[in-house]
């Protein structure tokens, strides 16, 4: 029989599974850590944590496309750049409040991603990867054009002001931006979770696993593939807007192809087709390069490459997959209770 624990000593109190109680306690402890960290860390550390939250949103967007729909993208840094420049231009040229730039950046990237997904329907596998790679390489160069310099700032970029905490909250700018980014991340993860567990998510995974069967069941593969690109770009664009606000600066050199490759690395290391993998991947791409640099200042990328190989060997299904298997092994070793 299942082991139950009472959540109240009063007669008639309902019972919840003991495992469920531990999950609630773990979630509460995790939330407490997230809320308490900004008050224990330095300003630079808070900025790093904010970037982890922002990267998690971007990786969630890429995971929707690559993990749940099976379309490979090596140029998602371009959508991150579009979102960042939309926010920067709106704040710098039109003095729009920073929080209003997020839905605008998401909407623009949704349209751009959907339109890019239409011609990409003719491509698959390595050819699609090559097309997205070209997008990631070309966009930073387009941002340097003199015709767009009045908007983008050209090679000099755009400098932004970091927003202060509203309503007289006793928080400095870094702490407020962390909490603001965390709130946006929670909303985006809830949106992604609801999207993937519903009809759209089932259609995306059906196209990934059995495209012919999906067509025979009436799934419009062209529509859903383009929609996957659009929704994925929307998530990444919102992350880009937040990244621009947090960094207080955007320039073409901030969005090189290495950013796109880092996103793909984060998805693979964190765990493909998992929501929690976006968080683990964000931690990896934010902190592991710094760890590699501290180990060897002369050859940090060699250390980074070794770490990638170690992760690929020890966790071939990503960190999320490794943790899930560890939990399953622990559960199988527990003796059955009557």
Residue 164 lies in a domain: yes
Give the position of tokens 């640099």.
293
Checking phi first, is residue 53 left (phi over 0); if not, alpha (psi -120 to 50) or beta? alpha
Length of the chain equals 338
Residue 329 lies in a domain: no
Question: Do the beta carbons of residue 222 and residue 122 sit within 8 Å?
Answer: no
Q: What is the C-alpha to C-alpha distance for residues 235 and 63, in angstroms, rounded to an integer? A: 10
Once rounded to an integer, what is the mean pLDDT over residues 273-302?
91
Token pair listed for 59: 């990786």
- 126, pLDDT greater than 80: yes
Beta strands in the chain (DSSP E): 4-6, 15-17, 158-159, 249-250
Cβ count near 189 (within 10 Å): 18
Q: What is the C-alpha to C-alpha distance for residues 34 and 282, in angstroms, rounded to an integer? A: 15
State whether residue 179 is helix, strand or coil.
Answer: helix
Residue 88 lies in a domain: yes
pLDDT at 20: 63
Element (H, E) at 304: helix 300-314
pLDDT at 207: 94
pLDDT at 23: 72
Q: pLDDT tens digits, residue range 228-249?
A: 999 999 999 999 999 999 999 9
Contacts of 211 (CB under 8 A, 6+ apart): 221
Neighbouring-strand partners of residue 249: 159
- 26, pLDDT greater than 80: no
Residue 202 lies in a domain: yes
Residue 237 lies in a domain: yes
Residue 203 lies in a domain: yes
Of the two residues 199 and 16, the one the predictor is more confident about is 199
pLDDT at 125: 83
Tell me which residue range forms the domain holding 101.
43-256
Question: Do the beta carbons of residue 20 and residue 239 sit within 8 Å?
Answer: no
Question: In the chain, how many domains are there?
Answer: 1
State whether residue 60 is helix, strand or coil.
Answer: helix
Contacts of 249 (CB under 8 A, 6+ apart): 157, 158, 159, 160
Q: What is the C-alpha to C-alpha distance for residues 313 and 316, in angstroms, rounded to an integer? A: 6
Question: Do the beta carbons of residue 16 and residue 5 sit within 8 Å?
Answer: yes
Q: pLDDT tens digits, residue range 42-94?
A: 999 999 999 999 999 999 999 999 999 999 999 999 999 999 999 999 999 99
Q: Rounded mean pLDDT of the chain?
A: 90
Mean pLDDT: which of 30-44, 173-187, 208-222, 287-301 is highest?
173-187
pLDDT at 312: 87
Residue 47 lies in a domain: yes
Q: What are phi and psi of 15, to 5 degrees?
A: -110, 150
Token pair listed for 240: 């880009």
Residue 264 lies in a domain: no
Question: Do the beta carbons of residue 66 and residue 272 sit within 8 Å?
Answer: yes
Closest CA to 92 of 34, 153, 19: 153
Distances (CA, A) of 82 to 29, 59, 108, 168: 36, 16, 8, 32
Once rounded to an integer, what is the mean pLDDT over residues 170-180?
96
């Amino acid at each position: 029989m299942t082991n139950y624990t009472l959540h109240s000593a009063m007669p008639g109190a309902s019972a919840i599974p003991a495992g469920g109680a531990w999950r609630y306690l773990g979630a509460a402890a995790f939330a407490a850590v997230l809320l308490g960290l900004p008050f224990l860390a330095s300003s630079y550390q808070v900025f790093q944590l904010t970037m982890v939250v922002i990267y998690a949103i971007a990786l969630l967007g890429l995971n929707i496309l690559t993990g749940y729909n099976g379309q490979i993208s090596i140029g998602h840094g371009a959508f991150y750049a579009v979102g960042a420049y939309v926010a920067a231009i709106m704040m710098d040229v039109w003095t729009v409040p920073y929080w209003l730039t997020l839905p605008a950046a998401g909407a623009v990237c949704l349209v751009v991603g959907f339109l890019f997904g239409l011609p990409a329907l003719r491509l698959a596998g390595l050819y699609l990867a090559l097309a997205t790679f070209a997008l990631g390489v070309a966009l930073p160069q387009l941002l340097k054009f003199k015709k767009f310099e009045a908007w983008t700032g050209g090679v000099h970029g755009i400098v932004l002001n970091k927003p202060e905490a509203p309503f007289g909250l006793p928080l400095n700018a870094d702490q407020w931006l962390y909490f603001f980014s965390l709130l946006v991340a929670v909303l985006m993860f809830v949106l992604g979770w609801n999207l993937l567990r519903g009809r759209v998510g089932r259609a995306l995974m059906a196209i990934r696993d059995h495209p012919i069967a999906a067509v025979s069941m009436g799934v419009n593969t062209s529509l859903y593939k383009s929609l996957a690109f659009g929704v994925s770009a929307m998530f990444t664009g919102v992350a880009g807007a937040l990244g621009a606000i947090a960094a207080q600066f955007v320039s073409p050199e901030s969005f090189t192809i290495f950013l796109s490759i880092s996103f793909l690395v984060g998805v693979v290391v964190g765990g493909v087709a998992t929501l929690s993998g976006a968080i683990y991947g964000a931690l990896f791409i934010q902190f592991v390069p710094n760890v590699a640099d501290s180990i060897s200042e002369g050859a940090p990328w060699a250390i980074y490459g070794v770490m990638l190989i170690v992760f690929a060997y020890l966790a071939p299904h990503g960190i999320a997959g490794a943790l899930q298997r560890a939990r399953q092994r622990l559960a199988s070793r527990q003796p059955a209770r009557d």
